[in-house]
Structure 1
Amino acid sequence: MGQLSESEMDESNNNIGSKILAESSENKSKRRIKIPHIGILYGLLSSVFFSFNALLAKLLSLNAVQIASSRCFIQYIFLFPYLIYKEKMDGILGSPKIRPFLWLRGFCGSVSGMLFYLAVRNLSVGNAVTLAFLDCVLCPILGRIFLKESLTVMDYVFALIAFSGVILIAQPPFIFPHLSSTTTESAFGVICALVSALMASSSYLSIRKIGTQTHYLIVTWYYSIVGCILDPVILIISGQYQPPCLSQIPIILLLTASGFLGQVTLTLALQHERAGTVAVLLTLQIIVVYFVQVVFLNDIPSMLSIIGTVLIFCTSIGIGARKIINERRRRVKK
């Protein structure tokens, strides 16, 4: 009566084994080290990667459009097999409802990247990166136009301060007639940087519209697809393609890796930390880039450029700080 059959004993042994495995997996999960404020670390890494990317673009003696094309092509090659492994083809393309926004994000993002590299080629690295940060000022304005989002008095104040910083960096001849630093190349670089910031803002709005409806790597993949199509077409029409030397290939690979890692760490930072905190952390990119420009490139900015950079830097800090305050107020109300 009290004895168990062999089948019952095997079943009880299996149950005991499964319980032991479950307990061990729980203990492993408990033993996993949770790094406090890991989102801040990701945000800092993102600033470093993007700064490194801008420096490599300045050092690489290739056409800016070709730099952007090479980055998109290499990024596409690495992303496509992974997405095929993780998702089916329909998963890679995204939901039909959000595909127009994915294509819009890809177009605006690739054009923004191409114009940013053109700005880096025609301006100092610090000025190009600083002007690119105007996207945080343009985003609320475009959000008001296309998404009917509200604007506050502070949005207009930040826009005015940032615009003053742009004028000091660009130094247009009709305002500064006695300065000889303004050239056709620098004027073209300023225009490229401003349009790049505008396209980046449009890209961010499309990402906001997409939300969490698809994997973040699919969003990056569309950036690569459009860049692989658009950039070569521009190179063919302009006739400016030049095959890279063997010595330039490692720099191209590093540039691609730094740009991709910057995007990944930025996404991870937004997943672990508040958007306002990440926005503040990204402004450190301006400091890192100017440090690299002075120390490694021996390019000392003018006093007007420094003042303009400080104005745009303070604007970015102010926008990020306001986001943090607003988020805290929403939490208190809840």
Structure 2
Amino acid sequence: MQYGAIKPAMDAAGVQQDAPRSPSKVADNADAGPEAAGLGQQPHDAADADGDKQRRGGVRGRLSAFYERNIGLFFVFLAQTFGSIMSTAAKLLTSGGPNRFHALHIIFVRMAVTAVLGFLYMWHQRVPDFPFGGRDIRGLLLLRGLAGFVGLFGLYYSLTFLDFADSTVISFLIPILTAIVCYVWLREPYTIREALAGLIALAGVLLVARPPFLFPRVAAGSTKAASDGVGSFVVDHPHGLVPTPPASPAQRGFAVLCGVMGTFAAAVAYTTIRVIGKRAHSLVSVNYFASVATVGSALIILVHPDLKFVLPQGAMQWTLLTIIGITGFMLQFLLTEGLKREKAGRATNMIYIQMVFALVVERVIWGTTPPPLSLIGAALIIGAAIWLSLQKNHPPVAQQKPVADEESSLLGSQGVGSLRA
């Protein structure tokens, strides 16, 4: 036994009990207050504060990541919204009664605004080889501008006699026709799948156009309906803001032909952009497009016996022309910003929302609903374009930021990627 040591008591089960605490020590701890009692809790409080900061930082980080991940997609969505507004204003001007505008008038106004703004921007930014580009590629740049001008004319002219939704869906032929042009010009591979997609899209175009030699009953019915002011649509005028302009089967067929011609020209313009590559700044290419379209439309208006420069009649036409100028520039700007930040596949999928906009606009403004044949044709064209874009999977490379236009917005992953090259 050791002296001076207190042997701890044992309970009945033989478990050693703690030695009794001194009352004075208990009182000292109680009198010390929360400072002494909280010494062991300070690390826990600090940990809780750090946890709150991390949670707040985590929320901000997730919001920031969500913004960075989707802002490009949002810009593409806004671009398509402005594009639909611009096309709606163009159709209202080209089919709005005796004082209606010709497609060339609209091209002149819209592209003149784009050319002036593009010229000023390139001058301010001191873009290389401004404004004509390098001597060795000026011919290609001129071809790009001419093809873009023809493509834009085909789109706007088709709006004169075609329904808004049908004119929109024809533009989705661009990636399919681009594959053919690249095969002929650049000797790129043209696969069986691409050929099959082209045939499917062609069937869709025939369903949209409904030529009389293939659909005689539909043509006869649409002619009779046109005499009643209905056209080839199921119309409910009380729910529309503007009456639908009638169009004969011949006018409708010619408008479809112009639309297809426009998509082919747009495919040529895109292929020319690929041939030019990095030898010219993208803004120089876009400005060639705008300048050639402005000069070309002005010359045709001057020499054509049935056309002349006209001033808008009334506040409505002035407003529509202003909308076309502003929305055309916003389409160009937002599409460029969106494709800078977004992957090609997601951007392409967002572009097909144009069809939804077109159907809504048709119903709200003209009070019309596409017939079943047009809806089936639209499904075939869009399905073929999506299927073709899914086949174009190229490995990512370090690329230049693009400046987009209407053609590139419909070219799928191949088109966007190539524009960046």
Give TM class, smaller chain.
0.7 to 0.9
Q: Is the 8 A contact 1:276 1:319 kept in 2?
A: no
Partner AA of 1:302 in structure 2: P
Q: 1:120 aligns with which of 141, 147, 159?
A: 159
Q: What fraction of aligned residue pairs are identical, expressed as a percent?
A: 28
Distance across 2 between alignment mates of 1:272 and 1:211: 20
Q: How far 1:88 sits from its partner (Å)? A: 6.4
How far apart are residue 212 of structure 1 and its match? 3.6
Match of 2:87 among 54, 79, 86: 54
Cα displacement string for residues 226-282 of structure 1 (whole angstroms, at most 9, x for unaligned residues): 012111111122231222225222211211222222223223333223333322221
TM-score normalised by length of structure 1:
0.83
d(CA) in 2 for partners of 1:320, 1:199: 19
Please report how far the alpha carbon of residue 328 of structure 1 lies from its aligned counterpart in structure 2 after TM superposition. 6.4
Cα deviation code 1:167-202 (max 9, x no counterpart): 100101111111133612101110110000000101
Q: What is the aligned partner in structure 2 of residue 327 from structure 1? A: 394
Partner of 2:255 in structure 1?
189
Once the two structures are superposed, what CA deviation does each residue of 1:47-99 show, in whole Å capped at 9, x if it has no partner?
21221111111111311111111111122222222222222683222222322
Partner of 2:191: 152
Secondary structure at 1:94 match in 2: coil
Distance 1:220 1:298 in 2: 36
Between the aligned partners of 1:50 and 1:266, the Cα distance in structure 2 is: 10
Tell me if 1:211 matches 2:244: no
Q: CA deviation at 1:111?
A: 1.4
Aligned to 1:236: 302
Larger Rg: 2
Residue 320 (structure 2) aligns with? 251
Residue 245 of structure 1 aligns with an amino acid whose one-letter code is Q
Which residue matches 1:317? Answer: 386
Q: Give yes or no for contact 1:169–1:309 (8 Å, CA) kept in 2.
A: yes
Report if aligned partners of 1:276, 1:322 keep a CA contact under 8 Å in 2.
no
Per mean C-alpha deviation after superposition, the further-off stretch among 267-276 and 182-191 is 267-276
CA distance in 2, matches of 1:329, 1:84: 32
RMSD: 2.2
Q: Is the 8 A contact 2:127 2:281 kept in 1?
A: no
CA distance in 2, matches of 1:259, 1:111: 17
Give the drift of 1:42: 2.3
Match of 2:129 among 77, 90, 93: 90
2:389 and 2:77 map into 1 onto residues whose CA distance is 15
1:1-334 equivalent positions in 2, closer than 5 A: 35-60=68-93, 61-87=100-126, 90-179=129-218, 180=220, 181=222, 183-238=249-304, 239-241=306-308, 242-247=310-315, 248-323=317-392, 326-327=393-394
| Cα distance in structure 1, aligned partners of 2:253 and 2:376 | 18
Amino acid at match of 1:185: Q
- Aligned-residue offset at 1:217: 2.4
Per the alignment, do residues 97 and 284 of structure 1 end up closer, same or farther by CA in structure 2, a change over 3 Å counting?
same
What amino acid maps onto 2:188 in structure 1?
E
Is 2:144–2:273's contact at 8 Å kept on the other side of the alignment?
A: yes
Corresponding letter in the other structure for 2:184: I
Q: Any unmatched runs of 5+ in structure 2? A: 1-60, 94-99, 223-247, 398-421
Count of aligned pairs: 298
Structure-2 change in CA distance of 1:85 and 1:328 (3 Å): closer
Verify the 8 A CA contact 1:93 1:99 in the aligned structure 2. Answer: yes
* Shift in alpha-carbon separation, 1:254–1:329, aligned structure 2, 3 A: closer
Structure 2: which amino acid aligns with 1:97? D
Contact kept in structure 2, 1:168 and 1:305, CA below 8 Å: yes
CA distance in 1, matches of 2:69, 2:313: 44
Note the C-alpha offset of 1:35. Answer: 2.0
Instruction: Encode CA deviations 1:133-155: one digit per residue, 9 max, x unaligned.
Output: 11111000000000111011110
Inter-partner Cα distance in structure 1 for 2:124 and 2:394: 38
- For the 8 Å contact 1:69–1:228, the answer to whether it is kept is yes
Contact kept in structure 2, 1:279 and 1:316, CA below 8 Å: no
How far did residue 329 of structure 1 move? 9.8
Describe the SS at the equivalent of 1:327: coil
Distance 1:46 1:319, change over 3 A: farther
User: What is the CA-CA distance between 1:303 and the residue it aligns to?
Assistant: 0.9
